[in-house]
Structure 1
């Protein structure tokens, strides 16, 4: 296990009715709030009214940013910064899923930067300071409610990049599983795939001494396997929604990656799909993951696939190692299919025309090879894209 420094400062309030702490928590960090949300689902479930009621009861002025996109745009970030500056905002409340939270994190960072917020995303400028933010989660998927990262899209340049800073950790997050009851079957499935992909990115590592982290990762994967279909078929099953919500947070809050040196591979490949075609992030990950697995499987990586197959899928350990590895990949694909996820790029409107451009963009962005479980060059990335068609 490698050395590491533990830092997960977000305070979590988990469970039904935990919104009761909202007013008190906001007052610890600010007095004038930007209330940010997406397409309006929070109004349909009554959450918007509850939040506004609490803000008014606590005499907290608030100003709204609505309509944040599923793949949040840099334009929404700029608009949020404008609202914050015009109204002397000192706290941002993100109510929604990962896209809303990600957008708010970058608004919080760009507030203190005079230039184009995109400069921060492409690392043309450094984040110096960040407004405090809090979240109320409505979708179990990205884990943004408990990490310091965000992903923002620029559709004019067909770019979708990640950005991170320790100041972007939410001060608090309210996780009430009942707020996910109305999430569609499609988005629930996409969220499960996203959680699993975050876990895979840390799990498939060359570090053999992080036994505890790997067992934690396997438990998160098994949680997704156990409750994914249940949440789709029984959307108001509290146990299923609660377990998936907590799995979402634990998959990417840093816990699984401590003691490892993991460089993610599938996420950079998917970001190009979203940047060019604006597809649902988790769906893109589900499509690409089995093909990435097949591509990186060789005599040097087979040990990890055997571990995965035996520990997660309960495959007979007495079988030949390569047979176990291939079965584990097949079972992964079958699981995603069982959630009714489309499993080819063509099914989500992507053909071969931009594959070479996207593959080149991946390599150009990372400045070399992608991932380090087995490093991928341009030809590797292009091959994975083609196999996923």
Structure 2
């Protein structure tokens, strides 16, 4: 056992636990399990009752806390050293250091024989010393990630050897305290999963509503109506509904600090705002389109400020259309814009986009109702996204403070 450091307790601890934590190398508290260099070519669509854990599935999250092994890829039958409940499998290769030794834990084997596949290190925790879930969460701490970054090798692909992995010195308290820590984090993860499912439902609801409430031709009315089934829809080119459109010309290098928000692709995609000394030329009711670059054709709404040179603003006639309604229609057709309304080589939105792109719309009263409903859905989605983000921050805090 390694020499104990001065700090033997975490910053945050459950009431009633006062004993020092112990320090062991992973190799002293776990038993290595044979892995197999199986790539995707070994997978089969046949029902074989044999499954494997591929390192790529660990990175994507398909294999994390595995309690539904039927979802793992099937492989052909064989005489393998199989995994048991509580075994941990880590990815020994990653495209970045943050993914080094990302872990999965097998909570149920079901009726399957399961093995660890390509680019993995597998081990069985010594349950007399460590609780499997505690080790699984320990491998998510910043201390372990820093160790992986320090000992990992490679340029385009980072890797960690099994010798260096098992050489990592981990701290652990009594089994009872390990279980309490694991229960708390697992409860938070379960709550996160619930929040994520709620978000997915809201996104599906919005997608379904957009599909069923918007007309795509004058020959067929939408499936959903707010008022009468005899609502008449019209079709116009986007330019016929526009009172002003202009390309941005503000360049950040030509500005000084000020009070007007600078609008560029980075800001519209969530980066922190920058304030400059230019006049406001874009209103929150304007539809913004990224005109140049790899994401040319991306549609945005709800920003006010000075428009950057890669963006174009479209100001609609409020007597004819609700701008948020039109934005939602454009946003729902984002893939169509990408595929049909951009230049083929260096991505640009085609010059006559507004003159050729069709917009379908009912009366202003119906547009307003559709826009209001979609706006409420967007608000619920934003609230849900913030809740997920907040819970992830809490989990990160617990992983930092509950462990040494």
TM above 0.5: no
When normalised by structure 1's length, the TM-score is: 0.23
Larger Rg: 2
When normalised by structure 2's length, the TM-score is: 0.23
Greater strand share, 1 or 2?
A: 2
